[in-house]
Structure 1
Amino acid sequence: MKQRNQSLDALRGLAIFGMVLAGSIAFGILPAWMYHAQEPPPAHQFNPQLPGISWVDLVFPFFLFSMGAAIPLSLKKRIQEKAGFPAIVGLAVKRYLLLVFFALFSRQMAHAAPGTTGYAVAILAFGLLFVLFFQPPAGSRLWRILKGTAIVVTAVLLYVLPFEDNKGFSLYNSDIIILILANVSFAGICWWYITRNHPLWRLALLPLLAGIYLGGAQPGNWCYTWLHSSPLPWMYQAGFLKYLFILLPGTLAGDWMLQYGAATKVPDAGEIVRIRLAGNFAAAVLLCNVCLLFGRYTTTNMVATLGGLLLCYLAVASLRREHFQLLYLFLQTGAYLVVLGLCFESFEGGIKKDPATFSYYFVTTGLAFLVLIILYALQYSKVGQIIIHYLSVTGRNPMVAYVAGNLLLLPLLQLTGVIRFFDAMGQQAATGVLRGFLFTGLVTALAAWFTRRQWYWKT
């Protein structure tokens, strides 16, 4: 059970590491594969006609997948307590509203005011988020007073601060990534609960969504109307729900972790060798799809992927199925989704993150299943254990890691003048990459520090 959760936390931590790294490396001077495939250097202008994916384009779907896998795990206790649908919907609504607030507050506080005042406000905002989202032991009267004070201070700041262009607080200026997560999380929790005993019904929603998105590509029908209308567009957009193609398969991973994780046995020496082989072959499939799809060697990639998946299957097939059913399911599902996505690759002009294509949904979700195998295999080497532990402690506090850079670290670097050192590193390719790893290391170290003290931010 411990290994199961550690692998999922490590996947989330890997996504966070990639997210921070992608946003902190030098821009304009590194090879194109170091950035989003549709935003190549040096200008980084968005080009929706440019197909392919890079490692950066795996960050968001891996995080979405891990969010989906966490749904069954996080709701396990409530299900055991026989919580009804109204209670689950209430929980989903609470998480939704808190994430919407998090998207609005974190985005605007990073640009709340100019100069030194703005940096001080950003650090204050980080402290306010800590008070608002940290859940101390029940019955702490002092903490209730602190939360009440934080709410009042937050309201005052939102009212008096100038924010961007001196236009004040705006409901339409939010972090789009968090807003997408809020919408998809709400829909995913509700649909998972309804179909928790019927996973095929859960997946049956996806072809319906595919039909709606394909039918809504042109105006003049109800699909188009539903996709382009919203009573609160700053808070909800039907287009966000397309990422259920990633999150809902992720809930299957969470279901299987609950069902088979405890049955997974400690492997013997021979089985460890085969698990490592499976992890290596899964890593090869991951690497092939990133490199060859970016380079547009689509036929070569399909052949290499099929070969890598076959070798991975042969390694897993030699394990005792009753003891390693989880690995079988991850491999079978991941392999199917990757191949399905590659069959869709030429559709919609090639695989793209933005605008996201069906190939992108299927390939990245399948690769997320394979990464779980890679992370599981890493646990059986000394270096791998260090990597897994590092990623997992970061992955347990994703909200801290997400805002620590903009609301704490960057303001501190600006106020102390150390930012000049980081800016100088961005002038050369090698030091520009080093800058990204240094900044990412500081952010993830802070998130790990919070985790070790059990200062979890939760919705």
Structure 2
Amino acid sequence: MSQLSTRLLSLDVFRGATVAAMILVNNPGDWGHIYPPLEHSVWHGCTFADLIFPSFLFMVGVSIVYAMESRKADPANHPKILSTALRRTLVLIALSLVTQLLFHPGLATLRLPGVLQRIALVFFICTVLYLKTSQKTRDWLIAILLIGYYLLLSYTPVPGQGAPDINAEDKNIGAWLDRLIFTPDHLWVFSKTWDPEGLLGTLPAIVTGLIGIRAGTWLKRKDRDDSTKVSWLFTLGFVAIVIGLIWGLFFPINKALWTSSFVLYTGGFGLMVLAACYWLIDVHGHKRITGFFVPFGVNAITAYMLSMYIPHYLNKLTFGTANKTLYDVLFKGWLTPVNASLGMAVFWVLVVWLVMWVLYRKKIIIKV
């Protein structure tokens, strides 16, 4: 644990809003009744829910710059930075695996890929690239990874199948690789033939982090004024969205595959939202809108973990002779199904926020 220090407030707000949205999307009262924007796309496409994870990875990249820039210049600091990054990576992976075992005991069907695993890998690889490469090299790497991933998914034959088909969930080289390396028993429980956080999809996810590093590096420049910084972030974001939409015409925007068009479309969204937050909050000081989101933002991983544990265990509570759940008691009896489901999701956001608010008031950041 460490005390709060000087931070980029707009980044904490953006990250906090993203975590709050993640909790909202992941914890409906009834998975059968959800407003369409809060559901992930069935396959191709991008909903509000699909923007959440890439926004978080984008901010991982921004955070790397703000956390490491002052120590990066001296190569003597690199071994310690990398060892700390590796430790955090392993802890994040362990947290995911332990949580799975607590909720659904059994090593035979333990899912090996996952959200925290992808965050961990992107964080570590982006840290290495930030320390050991120039921004020009990283810009070239963004192009190489996006184009290379497009060629891999679109043109690489799938063993035992032949031509790839990205319109099907399990008929591309990424799904084949996951089945080969992890085996079907250790993939996403709802499929077992592919995984939305698969291994090959980590390559374009790294680009999402690198776009965040590009944004953080630009914001940290001292030879540009704030209006110039914001203008360029907006412009770059707009261009990325347009290119993503055009690319999506023949390499569809798809979160589960983390397609190159998805990277650019969501990266552009992240750039523009960060620019707006920076301009309003850090430049012009409009801070009344920040109070709710900052407690989430400064303890993002803790909030994410609690959003799994708290609903999991409190949903086991029953009340009265009818054994009603919290959802039944609080919302189901007096709201329409979709509004009751949304109400329960908002309830979990507020419950987790209360814990985060206590930590924030005590100036405590829990670091993994």
TM-score range, shorter chain: 0.7 to 0.9
Distance across 1 between alignment mates of 2:70 and 2:282:
30
1:29 has 2:22 as partner: no
1:9 has 2:6 as partner: no
Output the amino acid matched with 1:386. R
Provide the residue aligned with 2:301 in structure 1: 399
Provide the residue aligned with 1:246 in structure 2: 208
Provide the residue aligned with 1:183 in structure 2: 121
For these two proteins, the number of residue pairs brought into alignment is 327
Deviation of 1:182 after TM superposition, in Å, equals 1.1
Match of 1:420 among 325, 328, 331: 325
* 1:287-338 CA-partner distances (Å, limit 9, x unpaired): xxxxxxxxxxxxxxxxxxxxxxxxxxxxxxxxxx734232123112212211
Distance across 1 between alignment mates of 2:121 and 2:99:
17
Work out whether residues 409 and 443 of structure 1, in 8 Å CA contact, stay in contact via their aligned partners in 2: no
Deviation of 1:209 after TM superposition, in Å, equals 1.8
Is the radius of gyration larger for structure 1 or structure 2?
1
Further displaced range: 78-87 or 60-69: 78-87
TM-score by length of 1: 0.63
Deviation of 1:172 after TM superposition, in Å, equals 3.8
Provide the residue aligned with 2:261 in structure 1: 359
Q: 1:171 to 1:33 in 2, by over 3 A?
A: closer
Match of 1:346 among 227, 243, 249: 249
Distance across 2 between alignment mates of 1:58 and 1:445:
25
Distance across 2 between alignment mates of 1:450 and 1:346:
46
Equivalences for 1:35-184 in 2 at 5 Å?
35-38=39-42, 48=43, 51-79=44-72, 82-111=75-104, 163=105, 168-169=106-107, 172-174=110-112, 176-184=114-122
Q: Percent identity?
A: 23
Output the amino acid matched with 1:228. L
Work out whether residues 10 and 278 of structure 2, in 8 Å CA contact, stay in contact via their aligned partners in 1: yes
Unmatched segments (≥5 aa) in structure 2: 160-172, 187-196
Q: 1:100 to 1:242 in 2, by over 3 A?
A: same
Q: 1:230 to 1:188 in 2, by over 3 A?
A: farther
Deviation of 1:70 after TM superposition, in Å, equals 0.4
TM-score by length of 2: 0.78
Work out whether residues 101 and 107 of structure 2, in 8 Å CA contact, stay in contact via their aligned partners in 1: yes
Unmatched segments (≥5 aa) in structure 1: 39-47, 112-162, 264-320
* 1:125-165 CA-partner distances (Å, limit 9, x unpaired): xxxxxxxxxxxxxxxxxxxxxxxxxxxxxxxxxxxxxx1xx
Distance across 2 between alignment mates of 1:86 and 1:219:
40
Work out whether residues 22 and 56 of structure 1, in 8 Å CA contact, stay in contact via their aligned partners in 2: yes
Distance across 1 between alignment mates of 2:103 and 2:61:
28
Deviation of 1:433 after TM superposition, in Å, equals 1.5
Provide the residue aligned with 1:270 in structure 2: none
Q: State the secondary structure of the residue aligned to 1:429.
A: helix
Deviation of 1:189 after TM superposition, in Å, equals 0.6
Distance across 2 between alignment mates of 1:15 and 1:79:
28
Output the amino acid matched with 1:453. K
Q: 1:451 to 1:80 in 2, by over 3 A?
A: farther
Provide the residue aligned with 1:119 in structure 2: none
Output the amino acid matched with 1:421. L
Distance across 2 between alignment mates of 1:380 and 1:86:
33
